Amino acid sequence: KLREIRRLTQELGVNLAGVEEIMRLRSELEALQARFEAEVARLKLLLLEEGKTLPEGSSMGA
């Protein structure tokens, strides 16, 4: 995290308030992505339990 803060401030000129917001948004994005991936896995499991398969070439984002 410290390397990223240094990169944002020194190389990109982001102030500390901006760094804080970027870090907060990144954390929120990671949490949302994890929830999305868990939901995709849950839906795939439901489809398998119902004996259905996904169309060929469909990955549902995962």
pLDDT tens, 12-40? Answer: 999 999 999 999 999 999 999 999 999 99
Say what the pLDDT of residue 49 is.
87
Dist. CA 1–CA 20, nearest whole Å: 11
Say what the pLDDT of residue 50 is.
86
* Average pLDDT across the chain, whole number: 90
pTM > 0.75: no
pLDDT confidence bin for 43, thresholds 50/70/90: very high
Say what the pLDDT of residue 53 is.
65
